[in-house]
């Protein structure tokens, strides 16, 4: 093999390795849409078909600017099915303008200041004997536990939400998709 061929093979191998590494570092798709690490929480959430109820609630609570421009935040983002599992009429009632304070409380009970990735949560779990306590932006408490390879976020009412997609990196934090709505006491 000539030197020219060796250089071409090495360049091709580096290109393939770089593409594989970029693919591994890429955020997972959420709700059928790519999530881009250089976009903020709101810019990504509006593209997820699984988070249309959450996006509508964030808009109704007038939290768009906070979640788009503030941070960093860790958001435990319930999917549409989580909102649909609430008692009949709950979502509709929360979305009414006169209930904006209550809606804001529920939504901010899903948000923690800072960027808590799986790795940082694992460190906190190790230090906390398998459980770590978090304080949300609303001032409410959440706990995180890991059972096997699955993370659970537990609200003040002892209801657990399973993290179905973790570490969806954002320009202003991280999203962890959860399968239940977390409710403050």
CATH number where 50 lies: 2.30.180.10
Q: What confidence score (pLDDT) does residue 1 get?
A: 58
CA dist., res. 24 & res. 29, Å (int): 12
Residue 6 forms part of a structural domain = no
pLDDT at 26: 76
pLDDT category, 3, cuts 50, 70, 90?
low
Tokens of 172: 């202003």
Burial class of 36 by CB neighbour count within 10 A (0 to 12, 13 to 18, 19+): middle
Domain, as residue range, for 172: 28-178
93 is a domain residue: yes
* pTM strictly above 0.95: no
Residue 124 reports pLDDT greater than 70:
yes
Is 64 a domain residue?
yes
User: Is residue 183 a part of any domain in this protein?
Assistant: no
In this prediction, residue 20 carries a pLDDT of: 34
In-domain check, residue 69: yes
Q: Flag whether 159 is in a domain.
A: yes
pLDDT at 22 over 80: no
> What pLDDT shows up at residue 163?
98
Residue 116 CB contacts under 8 Å (≥ 6 apart), including other chains: 74, 124, 134, 174
Q: Report the distance separating Cα 20 and Cα 75, nearest Å.
A: 28
Average pLDDT over residues 75-104: 97
Count of domains observed in the chain? 1
> What is the pLDDT averaged over residues 140-164?
96
pLDDT for 9 equals 43
Q: Is the pLDDT of residue 8 over 50?
A: no
Q: What is the pLDDT of residues 132-151, one digit of tens each?
A: 999 999 999 999 999 999 99
Would you say residue 153 lies in a domain?
Answer: yes
Share of the chain above pLDDT 90, in %: 84
Q: Is 106 left (phi over 0), alpha (psi -120 to 50) or beta?
A: alpha
Q: Write down the residue that tokens 């191998």 correspond to.
A: 13
Whether 107 maps to a domain, the answer reads yes
Q: Mean pLDDT score of the chain, rounded to an integer?
A: 89
27 neighbors 168 (Cβ within 8 angstroms) = yes
Binning pLDDT at 50, 70 and 90, where does residue 25 land? low
């Amino acid at each position: 093999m000539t030197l020219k061929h060796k250089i071409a093979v090495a360049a091709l191998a580096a290109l393939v390795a770089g593409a594989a590494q970029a693919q591994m570092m890429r955020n997972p798709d959420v709700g059928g849409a790519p999530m881009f690490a250089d976009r903020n929480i709101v810019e990504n959430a509006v593209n997820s078909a699984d988070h249309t109820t959450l996006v509508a609630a964030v808009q109704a609570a007038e939290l768009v600017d906070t979640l788009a421009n503030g941070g960093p935040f860790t958001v435990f983002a319930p999917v549409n099915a989580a909102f649909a599992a609430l008692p009949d009429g709950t979502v509709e009632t929360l979305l009414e303008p006169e209930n904006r304070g209550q809606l804001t409380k529920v939504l901010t009970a899903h948000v923690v200041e800072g960027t808590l990735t799986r790795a940082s949560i694992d460190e906190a779990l190790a230090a906390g004997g398998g459980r770590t306590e978090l304080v949300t932006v609303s001032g409410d408490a959440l706990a995180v536990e890991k059972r096997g390879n699955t993370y659970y976020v537990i609200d003040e009412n002892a209801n657990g939400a399973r993290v179905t997609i973790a570490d969806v990196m954002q320009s202003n934090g991280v999203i962890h998709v959860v399968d239940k709505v977390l409710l403050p006491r």
